[in-house]
Chain A
Amino acid sequence: MRRASLAATAAALLIGLAGCGGSSPVATTPTPVENTQQLVVDLGPNLNGQSVGFDNSLYTNVNICLPATTTCQTIDHVLVDTGSTGLRILSSQLSLTLPHVADASNNQIGNCIQYADTSYQWGPVAKVDVHLAGELASSIPMQIVGPSNFPAAPAACSAGGVAAQSVSSLGANGILGIGLFRQDCGAACASSSPPAVYFTCPSSGCTPTTVALTAQLQNPVWMFPQDNNGFAITLPQVGSGGATTVTGSITFGIGTQTNNALNGAQAQAASPKGNFTTTFNGVAYPNSFIASGLGAYYFLDSATTGLPNCAPGDAAGYYCPPSPVNLTAITSGPNPSSSGTTVSQNVAFSVWNALTLIDSRNPAFSNIGGPNPGIFAWGLPFFYNRTVFIGIEGQTTPAGTGPYWAY
């Protein structure tokens, strides 16, 4: 994709030169940067001839380079996750030798991310150039996941969970975390009582450490020189029986080019921790959120929704109603451009029998759900048949300042 846009630019230059006929330079309007990149939901990365992806995984290609060089590598099937921040590439998939980051005592810095299912990724922080569409995030910190030449995950990171550090356990070659925030951890990790996210790793072992904002894993989007206030993900409709492949796009910037206007999308601000309110049957659930890295609608419980849980087996952890059930919830959050007002939107969605869906062997489903007591976690199904904008914290957009979701 990057190569294609470079070729187009070169062609435009050649045409321009021909038109000038060798006369003195003429001032020109800068050509807008290519800001759209393809996304896909498919069967996932290939491992020994087998596709090893998990259901409803949204992937893209990420071109990474040694900082300020043209020594590059394209990683396919990187999971696009709006629920986390930072680029994480499995060590096993890296051919580049990226420069690791060290602290003032010359100890390597380890980074940890945990997920609600208690899986985690652990590994050193390294600097990298990240190319997405025609955009470039220069020399930003990322995580190399699970290299063998690095200390094992400390207990404060693994926390009794399971490592998702191989292609088969992650179902992807890495994670592109492009969420609401500028950094993965933010001010908490720059404070004197940091949570167990960054570790300094002398030979005596890795312990939690304070890391300045600029040295933390960065959301690549806000590091772009332009189109850096947010982005939009657009995916088509997926029928009730699922789809074998879904192709969509991510467009960088909000209201910065002709192709990324909000077009009436309603912005709802997220809290400093990345949540907003979802109301269902008159009850408000304030710790709700949207995350493209989740494979289903994970919400409430069987008693509250009336949806039966699936039996143990292929569909364990999902809902299994005998026929499709149509539901409506209301999402709401403060208006990012007008203090004191709240923006609310109805969200209609459908949940069908997860066992039937999974047995179809399709990878993409718009109507798969599972329990998550006390909250709504709107996973990838929410993104089908929609354009979802994400405004990044502290960044100015036509709908106000992020963090927000708009749709």
Chain B
Amino acid sequence: MVVAMHMSDGLVTAPTAAVFGLIAVIGLAVAVSRARVDLDDRTAPMAGLVTAFVFAVQMINFPILPGASGHLLGGALVAILVGPWVGSLCIAIVLAVQALLFADGGLTALGTNIVNMALVGVFVGYAVALALRGLARRSRAGLVCTAFLAALINTVVAALAFVLEYAIGGAGGASLGTVLALMVGLHVLIGIGEGIITAATVGAVASVRPDLVHLLRGAPTLLHLRRSEDVPERSAS
């Protein structure tokens, strides 16, 4: 059973929530304007399905320690599959559906949740994947390793974004040092799970439709990744 996975209302002060709400709105507005470049008849349906897939997988809390679980955030996953601009919209839509329909995550906390997972998580995951793009394009193993590392790091940095919000305007209840140590420690473990899920998903998509993996676009080694009997040459269509 899953109950709640994201920040509730009241964990940070109202002004802090408002500031991060504004940052979220600005970030998503930029993402909408930039996402068009990555969306066409072929990639738009894929992006919709990736969003639904992230919603589904976020429901699956996996155990990390006795009494503690973790779940996918999805930043690196969407960034690698559909690019960072579309990807940040994917995660923001998941978070909005969860808050509005499933009472998961507060409405005033939606801004902080979007900043942490849809903006910070996605773009950190994308930055790591971009830095390792040479490796990712060399072989399937390289792509899977890139996906794992990007996901691990996006999870930890998204957790650090919460720590930053708590440092700026936390409502209190625990010392900043305790929050920092616990958030990082737990999210390294969660990040390993996130890395495994991301690597498996990206590897699976790349094995059947490498042309739908944003990170591989324009890769000269793409032909080595695809199986010629599976994927027709684009020029033939």
Q: Do these two chains really belong together in a complex? A: no
